[in-house]
Amino acid sequence: MDQSERHEGEVRALFAAWAQAESDEVALAGLAALLASPDDSPAGDRLRRLWPTPVAPLRPAPSRPRDPALERALATASACVGRLESIDSGSVTVLATAWLVRPELAVTVRKPLLPCLAQLTRGERGLQLDLGGGALVAVREVLYIAPDCDLALVRVAPQASFIALAPGVAHGHELAAIDRGDPPAPQDGEARPGDLRLVPGRVQEVSAALLRHDCLGRPGGVLLDLASGQAIGLTLGGHESVPGWLVRERIERLLR
C-alpha cells in the first residue's frame, strides 16, 4: 500500500468512528470545521496533514497584444462615427449609424429617412448626429437621397474630423465594419452613450455597385481599410456595403 492510500484509509477510519456517534450531517459539518479550524487540536492537525488544501499559485492572466491598426481605427471612428437620431416632440429615436465623410457632410443609409422626409421638410421633425460622449451635432438638412441604392447624405454643422474615402479597394488589406449602436438604458437618471462596435474582416467580392465582406456590419456604418484608415464602403447591414468610390462619385456630382 502506498502512502496516499494509507493516508486515505486513516481519514476514512476517523470519519467512520465519528459517524458512529453522530449523524452523517453532523459528521460532515464537524469534518469541515476541523479542516478549517485555525487552532491546534490534535484531530484537526492530523486531518490537515493527511488532507492538505492545495493552493494554486496566482499567475497574471495573459494580456492580449495591442493591435496598432485597430487602435488607430477606433480613435478615428470615435470622433466621426455616430448615431443618426430623429427628434420628434422631445423624443429621440435612433435611425441608423452615420459617419462624417467631410467636415460638413455625413453619409448614411436612406431607408430609415424615407418615412420621415415629409415631416423633416415641414420642420415637424429634426435630426442630430450623436458622436458619443455627449457630442451632439445638428443635422441642417438632408442633401441627397440616392434613387438607385441605399445611400443618403446629410449636411451637418462643420466638424474638425472626418473619414476620407479610399480611391479603391486594396485586396488583401484587413478591414473593419465600424458602427455605433443604440445607447444603453439610462441608469440612475443618467444617459450614457453607447460604445463603438468594430468587427474585423476581409473583402470577399467586389463589383461596381456592391462590396461583399466577411465582417458583419450594421446599416449606416463605415467599412474601414485598417492599413490606410480610409473608408472603402458604407455598410448596409449584414455582409454588404456600398463601395466608397460610388459614395465619392455621388458627392462630387452633388457639389459641382
Cα–Cα distance, 77 to 176 (Å, whole number): 11
Per-residue pLDDT of 165-185, as tens digits, reads: 998 887 777 899 999 977 655
Cell digits of residue 254: 452633388
Residue 173 confidence (pLDDT): 78
Query: Mind listing the pLDDT tens digit for each residue in 183-231?
Result: 655 544 433 445 789 999 999 999 989 999 999 999 999 999 988 899 9
Looking at per-residue pLDDT, the higher value among 139 and 195 belongs to 139
As beta bridge partners, residue 86 has 93, 127
Torsional class of 238: left (φ above 0), alpha (ψ -120 to 50), beta (otherwise): left
Query: What would the pLDDT profile of 54-81 be if each residue is shown by its tens digit?
Result: 444 444 444 445 678 778 888 888 899 9
Return the H-helix or E-strand segment holding 94: strand 91-102
Residue percentage of the chain with pLDDT more than 70: 70
Cα dihedral 217→222→225→230 (10° resolution): 180
Q: Print the SS3 string covering 14-50.
A: HHHHHHHHCCHHHHHHHHHHHHHCCCCCHHHHHHHHH
* Mean pLDDT estimate for the chain: 80
Residues 70-109: tens digit of each pLDDT: 788 888 888 999 999 999 988 999 999 999 999 999 999 9
Rounded Cα–Cα distance for residues 45 and 109 (Å): 73
Q: Position of cell 472603402?
A: 232
Q: Edge-to-edge, what's the strand order for the sheet holding 222-225?
A: 196-201, 175-180, 222-225, 231-243, 211-217, 203-206
**3-state secondary structure labels for all residues of 162-225:** CCCECCCCCCCCCEEEEEECCCCCCECCECCCCCEEEEEECEEEECCCCEEEEEEECCCCEEEE
The model's pTM is 0.71
Q: What is the pLDDT of residue 256?
A: 83
Q: Which helix (H) or strand (E) holds 70?
A: helix 68-80
